[in-house]
Amino acid sequence: MHLHEEIKGEETRFGEREHIETVFHDCYERLSNAGLRPVAYRGGHYAYAPFMNEVLAKYEIYADFSCCSGMNFPEHEAVWTKAPLSASYLPEDPRADWSG
C-alpha cells in the first residue's frame, strides 16, 4: 500500500491519525475486495508518523518501506535522521535511535 495524503502546494496530512486511519482502511478494503492482500506499506514523501506502527499491525502488515536514511522533513512526517542504511526492524518509536 502506498498513500499520498498531501494538500497540493501546501502540506501533508500524514500526522493526522484519524484521517490516515480512515484513508488506510478504505484503501485496504478496496484492495481486499479486489482479491489482493496488502503485505507492505510505504508512505508518500517517505512519511511515517509514529502511530503508523499500530496502524500497520492492526492490518497485519509488518513490512514498511518508508525509510529514507538521513531525510529530515518533519512537516511531511519524514524524519529519518537516525535510520540505518540497511534494513532493520522498526523501533517502538521510529524517531528514536535504531539498533539491530
> How many angstroms separate the CA atoms of 61 and 26, rounded?
15
Per-residue pLDDT at 34: 97
The per-residue pLDDT for range 8-56, each reduced to its tens digit, is: 777 788 888 999 999 999 999 999 999 999 999 998 888 888 899 899 9
pLDDT bin (cut points 50, 70, 90) of residue 62 is confident
Q: Are 98 and 83 in contact (CB under 8 A)?
A: yes
In this structure, the dihedral spanned by the alpha carbons of residues 68, 69, 75 and 76, taken in order and rounded to 10 degrees, is 10
Q: Are 14 and 43 in contact (CB under 8 A)?
A: yes
Longest dimension (CA), the chain: 39
What's the mean pLDDT in 59-63?
A: 89
Name 54's Cβ contacts closer than 8 Å, sequence gap at least 6.
Answer: none
pTM beyond 0.85: the answer is no
